[in-house]
A = this chain, B = another copy of it.
Amino acid sequence: MPAYDDLMAFQRVTEALSQVAGRAGWDQEAIMPRGAAPQRAEEMAALEEVLHARRTDPRLGDWLREAHAPDAVADANLREIRRSYDRNRKVPAALAAELARVTSLAQGQWAEARAAEDAAAFLPVLSEVVRLRREEAAHLAEGGDPYDALMQDYEPGGSAEDMAAMFDQMRPRLVALRQMALDGPEAPRLSGHFPKADQLKLAEQIAAAFGYDFDHGRLDLAVHPFSSGSGLDVRITTRVDEADPFNCLYSTIHEVGHACYEQGVDGAYLLTPIGNGVSMGVHESQSRSYENQMGRSEAYCGWLYGRMRDVFGDIGVGSERDFYRAVNAVHSGYIRTEADELHYNLHVMLRFDLERALIRGELDVADLEAAWNERFEADFGVAVDKPSNGFMQDVHWSVGLMGYFPTYSLGNLFAGCLMAAARADLPGLDADLAKGDPSAATGWMRDKLQRHGALRTPTETIRHATGQKPSARPLLDYLDAKFSDLYGG
């Protein structure tokens, strides 16, 4: 099958260039000298120009027509290449270029306007981003739902209808649990001094224990922690707040979840279309399993309590149980990225409804702030005090990432399914976690899910790992049990 071989040889170079572009992004966020920004923008645009030309190269169409898949791996490779080719060919080059230009501009304007709490300065460019993304969605949807069309970049096979059904199922139980927690006893707080170097050393040890391979990655600092790269070079970043060690530790565990997914993919898939995580939702299932389901479990918190006292001395809480309560404190805060497991999905629901309305043309950008503030007060019982605590807190919309937010909740849902299955297979899991050892669970995750990369679709990936169709029930049962124990009568 020469067509398939030619296609894969061409694609391999594209994948390699895409890794280069990803690492240039890592460099920019993690270690680039400040003054290099204007040149870096040109370098990223040059790489994007090359990648776009390759992704829309007419030879891909010929090869895709002629190639036959003799096995499941080839079938999956063709599926991924076809999806990318069709997607990129549907969008006129001029529109793609305009979107790249405007979103790059918009991100800077968003950051400046947010720092100045100046919503009016942000709205014009946001309107432009929404207009262009709606135009793009119209090209992609070909008469179908425009929001669904945008979702495909992040969650292939996902739909707004499924997401809405998921949220409808989650919402009443989350709201009830949240109320119980807010009415319950106040959680203890850590106090003490947590030196940066000690936090980073502990974070490194924990990352390694969760299976992160430093021979194929590295840990650096960044303003917003992220994981980057696939295959043999998967880098993570974290941040440090000397007053709040949970920030560093749980950001690290979260990014380790993402990174272990990429590091865990079968080496035979290196630099092929299936040699990486299959979707944002499945990716987030890994980060949330590591961070929340394991890292914030009572068993692991028991171990971490002892470890933190070894490293930092007195940390202001007097028992493992109190430490567990501190880790899982429930507060009605403004900021999504600081939210507890109960509030987190409520934050996402708000964004999902608003961005869906924007893309469908049912909400004007001019009315977005008011809509946000009204909804936030209704859901969270607190009035938004300033744009940076409201609709301007996230970078996503400025860079055109509409259709992305629901994958965070989908990831939580998938994590619920996966960890319920893992716990059924691994009766000794809590005993291991109580010794600071998540390796049985991370090994389970690698074997059942991570090593397969994008071999199967997202839903099939979860079904293969768990033996069940994905559902919100395991997550809700987990949250119910955990927070009833912590806050219930």
Q: A16-B43, A20-B24, A46-B16 are in contact. Are A33 and B218 (CB under 8 A)?
A: yes
Give Cα A24 to B47, complex, Å.
13
Task: Name the 4 nearest CB pairs between A and B, nearest first.
Answer: A36-B233, A16-B46, A39-B232, A35-B215
Contact A218 B16 (CB under 8 A): no
Q: Which residues of B contact A218 (CB under 8 A)?
A: 31, 33
Contact A32 B271 (CB under 8 A): no
Q: A23-B27, A33-B217, A216-B33 are in contact. Are A17 and B47 (CB under 8 A)?
A: yes
Contact B271 A33 (CB under 8 A): no
A259-302: CB near B (< 8 Å → 1, else 0) gives 00000000000110000000000000000000000000000000
Q: Which residues of B contact A17 (CB under 8 A)?
A: 43, 46-47, 50
User: Using a CB-CB cutoff of 8 Å, which residues 17-61 of chain A contact chain B?
Assistant: 17, 19-20, 23-24, 27, 31-40, 42-43, 45-47, 49-50
Q: Which residues of B contact A47 (CB under 8 A)?
A: 17, 20
A336 part of interface (Cβ distance < 8 Å): no
A214 part of interface (Cβ distance < 8 Å): yes
Give Cα A235 to B39, complex, Å.
14
Interface residues contributed by chain A, number (CB under 8 Å): 38
Contact B233 A40 (CB under 8 A): yes
Q: A13-B49, A24-B20, A27-B27 are in contact. Are A213 and B35 (CB under 8 A)?
A: yes
Q: Which of B20, B33, B50 contacts A233 (CB 8 A)?
A: B33
Give Cα A110 to B2, complex, Å.
37
A158 part of interface (Cβ distance < 8 Å): no
A12 part of interface (Cβ distance < 8 Å): yes
Give Cα A38 to B233, complex, Å.
10
Contact A232 B35 (CB under 8 A): yes
Q: Which residues of B contact A213 (CB under 8 A)?
A: 35
Q: A27-B23, A40-B233 are in contact. Are A46 and B13 (CB under 8 A)?
A: yes
Kindly name the residue among A17, A20, A45, A218 whose own CB sees the greatest number of chain B CB atoms within 10 A.
Answer: A20
Q: A12: nearest residue on chain B (CB-CB)?
A: B42
> What is the CB-to-nearest-CB distance from A422 to chain B, in angstroms, rounded to a whole number?
27
Secondary structure call for the A interface: helix
Q: A231: nearest residue on chain B (CB-CB)?
A: B39
Q: A213: nearest residue on chain B (CB-CB)?
A: B35
Q: Which residues of B contact A34 (CB under 8 A)?
A: 215
Q: A17-B50, A24-B23 are in contact. Are A39 and B215 (CB under 8 A)?
A: no
> What is the CB-to-nearest-CB distance from A224 to chain B, in angstroms, rounded to a whole number?
20
Give Cα A98 to B38, complex, Å.
36
> What is the CB-to-nearest-CB distance from A228 to chain B, in angstroms, rounded to a whole number?
12
Beyond the given A17-B47, A20-B47, A38-B232, could you list 13 further A-B residue pairs with CB under 8 A, ordered by the A residue number? A13-B46, A13-B50, A16-B42, A17-B43, A17-B46, A19-B39, A20-B24, A23-B24, A34-B215, A36-B233, A37-B232, A39-B231, A39-B271
Q: A27-B23, A39-B271, A271-B42 are in contact. Are A233 and B16 (CB under 8 A)?
A: no
A107-128: CB near B (< 8 Å → 1, else 0) gives 0000000000000000000000
Q: A32: nearest residue on chain B (CB-CB)?
A: B233
Q: Which residues of B contact A39 (CB under 8 A)?
A: 16, 19, 231-233, 270-271
Give Cα A50 to B54, complex, Å.
11
Give Cα A89 to B152, complex, Å.
43
Q: Which residues of B contact A13 (CB under 8 A)?
A: 46, 49-50
User: Using a CB-CB cutoff of 8 Å, which residues 79-100 of chain A contact chain B?
Assistant: none
Q: Which residues of B contact A50 (CB under 8 A)?
A: 13, 17, 50
> What is the CB-to-nearest-CB distance from A24 to chain B, in angstroms, rounded to a whole number?
6
User: Using a CB-CB cutoff of 8 Å, which residues 210-234 of chain A contact chain B?
Assistant: 213-218, 231-233
A231-244: CB near B (< 8 Å → 1, else 0) gives 11101000000000
What are 28 A-B pairs at a CB distance below 8 A? A12-B42, A12-B46, A13-B46, A13-B49, A16-B39, A16-B42, A16-B46, A20-B43, A20-B46, A20-B47, A23-B24, A27-B27, A32-B233, A33-B216, A33-B218, A33-B233, A35-B213, A35-B215, A35-B216, A35-B232, A36-B233, A37-B232, A38-B232, A39-B232, A39-B270, A40-B232, A40-B233, A50-B50
